């Protein structure tokens, strides 16, 4: 986000631009204070005493806030969604009160004239802890007599449910063969380039709070800040300027964000906080820590007949607010059958509390786990039956004539190109040639593997995810399109942009509808005081929901413009065409530039007869169904160093069907970025805790994100199957790469390990794990 005061002054104005057209006086800037936090150094501890006396007296300190003081300003809140029946969790506050439940939980917030002064004061705070037993893994949390993270809840289970379809008991009883494995997916996090950050400015006289925040969801933040602090919602303005990456990390409400807002309320002056990288690792949500024990039945020809699973999701001490920490596990529960025609299924999900950082929604939410597990089982079955893994998929994928297809878990796959995506992938990658090359490499003693992955991706949800559960998260999206007197076009959208090119795509949609150059369209987003109400950016909803709202608003404005043009050109509206920035009567040379038309409406509306003098249209849109499904097929080629265990990705090919494409180059970037993130999670990224619950990976020296040197060129190919229930036919594109990559990489590694008689079921696939698998196989040479 723009740091207040960091932009150049206008030569003729003594004020400084902070973003979205608001100026802050130099006096106000001089009053701005910077926040630092004292955070718990224990995974689980009672706060015996918190002494802030010396910190309050420290130089340049403006204010110090303890947990007891913060809870008098902010209501407690719980990340519970009502449609997850039986869900429970402890209440959160901006700062820990009485007990800290994870390393990094904020205990004291301090504000000073500079960040350095605030950090110096934080060092003067004395917290006396009584260490309590920490519960770090789900098995320990579920054990009889386990220490309770929230004593009032009675146990450490946040949520438990079962899901079944068909007759799995009979299907397994009659199965010709079954396969069973347990997969463990490591915990990792998003690591956006720009950390979480905010400036909160409170005006006591009007009880107005302006919050500039690096967020994907400004209207959600407006509603929550208003509610928790008891402020009039119309007096809370949230501005989310250009955001430097997010990946779902910035759709949540964090304790430290609320503590900074509380300081602004207490001090009545601007408050600024920017997370350090260490704070980001400690306090940003994590994701993916799950164990999936799965059993699959199949016929001798590879036809999948039944599946059952036990899913355990470890999510930290609290359920994240307001989206909860159960959705990722719930996604795995419903997505395990994948894009296949499996008809018998049963599974149980347990979401368990632990004394680690909170986990919740992060890019692709559950899809990478479900896809990696199921696709690994498909490859295992193919290998054991002596079948080509591509052929096994052909025999099981949902067929084109079966759409819309209701999966055994109740997901409705509205449309897709499952078979076409696989065949396109095999063709574009040169699959048969790759297999021949692999054979030659193995003959030369090299461990080369080829991995496939087919997947579905849930995108564009409406209210079914959160709204029906009571969360203040809009399932609809609003867009206003306005023709300015100059003939330029302004678009106001509730979507936000974290670098994915949303504004470019929306400008293209509007330019096409109105027949104007895309350069003449300006898109404004991220300011609750300006844009229509909307849900923001999450769950790949930008184009399906926001793009459709923009398309319909563009069409509505087009109709208005043609009616006005018809009146001014003395023609029938049906005969008016828009193009080249002009309104023209079809078949004649009668035309009017849109700028001239707009100036007439705005300045000489008396010339209109019987036509509303308006050149603005607003449309709010929601998915009439639950969601729409993207699909794809990916292929990875890897080579293992059998002496060091290192995995090198030699080639990666992706075929994605994102519905109607607005800007293929932007979609390429989304897929490539998603693949890179998925490969990172598959091979390197993990949040490592020690036996005491201390996070050991709190720098980019310890937490390994992929670099350009680690990745091959990512080849992307597109199919377009329009979403039948979405106005623009759009589907989401932001998460498919992340959904497919871990599965393709794991399958490629296991294909390389297969000649050694080894198989890995843990991610990330580190060099240590590869070597352990090779040692466990007990055979130093591959079996050919």
What confidence tens digit (pLDDT) does each residue in 299-336 have?
Answer: 999 999 999 999 999 999 999 999 999 999 999 999 99
In 533-615, the DSSP E strands lie at: 576-579, 582-585, 591-593
Instruction: List the chain residues with pLDDT less than 70.
Output: 1-29, 777-784
Residue with tokens 């946040």: 158
Residue with tokens 């494409």: 661
Question: Residues 6 or more apart from 640 whose CB is under 8 A from it?
Answer: 447, 448, 449, 646, 647, 648, 749, 752, 753, 770
Q: What letter would DSSP give residue 362?
A: -
CB 680 within 8 Å of CB 737: no
Sign of the dihedral defined by the CA atoms of residues 105, 108, 114, 119, in that order: negative
Q: How far is CA 190 from CA 44, 533, 634, in A?
A: 25, 27, 22
CA dihedral 344, 85, 542, 654 (to 10 degrees): -30
Residues 20 and 525: their CA atoms lie apart, in Å, by 9
CB 122 within 8 Å of CB 58: no
Residues in the chain: 784
Q: What letter would DSSP give residue 222?
A: H
Residues 387 and 379: their CA atoms lie apart, in Å, by 9
Q: What letter would DSSP give residue 345?
A: E
689-743 confidence digits (pLDDT tens): 999 999 999 999 999 999 999 999 999 999 999 999 999 999 999 999 999 999 9
Helix, strand, coil shares, percent, the chain, to 5: 35, 25, 40
| Partners of 298 in the β-ladder | 177, 304
Q: At what angle do helices 367-385 and 736-753 cross, to 10 degrees?
A: 30
CA dihedral 317, 323, 328, 330 (to 10 degrees): 110
- 326 burial (CB, 10 Å; 0-12 / 13-18 / 19+) is buried
- 236-239 and 208-213: which strand pairing? parallel
Token pair recorded at residue 445: 């003693």
Give phi and psi for 626, each to the nearest 5: -75, -45
- 489-493 and 521-525: which strand pairing? parallel
How high is the pLDDT of residue 462? 83
Q: How far apart are the first and last CA of the chain?
A: 56
In 123-191, the DSSP E strands lie at: 126-131, 157-165, 177-185, 188-189
- Count CA atoms closer than 13 A to 61's CA, side-chain side: 23
Residues 685 and 699: their CA atoms lie apart, in Å, by 12
Residues 572 and 397: their CA atoms lie apart, in Å, by 52
**Secondary structure of residue 253 in the 3-state scheme:** strand
- Helical spans, DSSP H, in 482-547: 502-514
Residue with tokens 């190919």: 717
CB 600 within 8 Å of CB 617: no
CB 621 within 8 Å of CB 550: no
How high is the pLDDT of residue 366? 97
Residues 503 and 495: their CA atoms lie apart, in Å, by 9
How high is the pLDDT of residue 776? 86
Give phi and psi for 419, each to the nearest 5: -70, -40
Residues 520 and 510: their CA atoms lie apart, in Å, by 10
Residues 329 and 317: their CA atoms lie apart, in Å, by 16
């Amino acid at each position: 986000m723009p740091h207040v005061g960091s932009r150049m002054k206008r030569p003729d104005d003594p004020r400084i631009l902070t973003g979205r057209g608001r100026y802050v006086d130099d006096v106000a800037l001089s009053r701005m204070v910077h926040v630092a936090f004292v955070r718990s150094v224990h995974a689980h501890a009672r706060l015996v005493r918190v002494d802030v006396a010396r910190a309050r007296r420290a130089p340049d300190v403006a204010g110090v806030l303890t947990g007891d003081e913060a809870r008098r300003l902010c209501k407690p809140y719980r990340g519970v969604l009502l449609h997850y029946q039986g869900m429970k969790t402890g209440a959160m506050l901006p700062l820990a009160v009485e007990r800290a439940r994870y390393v990094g939980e904020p205990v004291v917030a301090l504000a000073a004239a500079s960040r350095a002064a605030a950090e110096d004061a934080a060092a003067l705070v004395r917290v006396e802890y009584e260490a309590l037993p920490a519960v770090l893994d789900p098995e320990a949390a579920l054990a009889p007599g386990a220490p309770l993270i929230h004593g009032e809840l009675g146990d450490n289970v946040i949520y438990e449910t079962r899901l079944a379809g068909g007759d799995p008991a009979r299907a397994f009883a009659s199965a010709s063969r079954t396969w069973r494995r347990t997969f463990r997916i490591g915990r990792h996090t998003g690591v956006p380039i720009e950390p979480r950050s905010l400036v909160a400015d409170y005006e006591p006289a009007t009880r107005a709070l302006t919050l500039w925040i690096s967020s994907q969801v400004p209207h959600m933040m407006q509603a929550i800040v208003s509610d928790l602090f008891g402020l009039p919602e119309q007096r809370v303005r949230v501005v989310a300027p250009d955001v430097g990456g997010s990946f779902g990390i910035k759709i949540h409400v964090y304790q430290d964000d609320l503590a900074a807002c509380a300081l602004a309320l207490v001090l009545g002056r601007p408050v600024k906080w920017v997370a350090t990288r260490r704070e980001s690792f400690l306090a940003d949500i994590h994701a993916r820590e799950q164990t999936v024990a799965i059993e699959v039945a199949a016929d001798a020809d590879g036809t999948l007949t039944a599946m059952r699973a036990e899913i355990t999701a470890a999510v930290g001490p609290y359920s994240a607010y307001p989206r909860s920490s159960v959705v990722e596990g719930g996604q795995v529960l419903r997505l395990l059958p994948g894009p296949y025609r499996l008809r018998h299924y049963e599974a149980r999900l347990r979401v368990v509390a632990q004394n680690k950082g909170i986990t919740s929604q992060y890019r692709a939410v559950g899809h990478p786990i479900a896809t990696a597990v199921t696709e690994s089982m498909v490859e295992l079955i193919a290998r054991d039956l002596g079948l080509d893994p591509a052929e096994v998929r052909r025999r099981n994928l949902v067929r084109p004539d079966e759409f819309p297809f209701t999966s055994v878990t109740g997901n409705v796959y509205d449309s897709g190109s499952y078979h076409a995506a696989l065949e396109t992938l095999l063709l574009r990658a040169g699959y048969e040639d790759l297999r021949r090359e692999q054979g030659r490499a193995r003959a030369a003693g090299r461990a080369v593997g080829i991995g496939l992955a087919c997947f579905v991706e849930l995108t564009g949800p409406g209210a079914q995810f959160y709204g029906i559960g009571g969360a203040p998260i809009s399932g609809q999206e609003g867009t206003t399109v306005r023709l300015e007197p100059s003939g330029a076009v302004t678009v106001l959208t509730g979507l936000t942009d974290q670098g994915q090119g949303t504004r470019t795509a929306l400008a293209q949609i509007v330019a096409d509808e109105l027949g104007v150059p895309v350069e003449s369209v300006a898109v404004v987003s991220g300011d609750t005081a300006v844009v229509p109400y909307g849900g923001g950016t999450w769950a790949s909803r930008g184009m399906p929901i926001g793009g459709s709202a923009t398309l319909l608003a563009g069409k509505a404005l087009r109709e208005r413009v043609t009616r006005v043009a018809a009146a001014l050109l003395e023609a029938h509206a049906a005969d008016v065409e828009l193009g080249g920035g002009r309104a023209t009567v079809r078949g004649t040379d009668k035309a009017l530039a849109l700028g001239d038309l707009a100036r007439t409406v705005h300045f000489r509306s008396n010339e209109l007869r019987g036509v509303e003098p308006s050149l603005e249209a607003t449309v709010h849109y929601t998915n009439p169904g639950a969601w729409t499904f993207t699909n794809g097929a990916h292929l990875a080629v890897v080579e293992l160093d059998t002496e060091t265990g290192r995995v090198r990705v030699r080639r990666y090919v992706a075929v994605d069907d994102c519905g109607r494409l607005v800007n293929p180059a932007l979609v390429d970037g989304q897929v490539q970025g998603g693949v890179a993130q998925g490969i990172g999670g598959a091979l390197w990224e993990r949040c490592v805790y020690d036996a005491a619950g201390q996070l050991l990976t709190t720098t980019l020296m310890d937490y390994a994100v992929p670099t350009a040197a680690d990745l091959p060129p990512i080849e992307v190919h597109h199919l377009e199957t329009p979403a039948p229930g979405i106005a623009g036919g759009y589907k989401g594109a932001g998460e498919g790469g992340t959904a497919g990559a871990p599965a393709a990489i794991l399958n490629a590694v296991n294909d390389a390990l297969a000649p050694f008689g080894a198989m890995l079921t843990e991610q990330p696939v580190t060099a240590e794990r590869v070597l352990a698998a090779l040692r466990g196989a007990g055979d130093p040479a591959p079996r050919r």
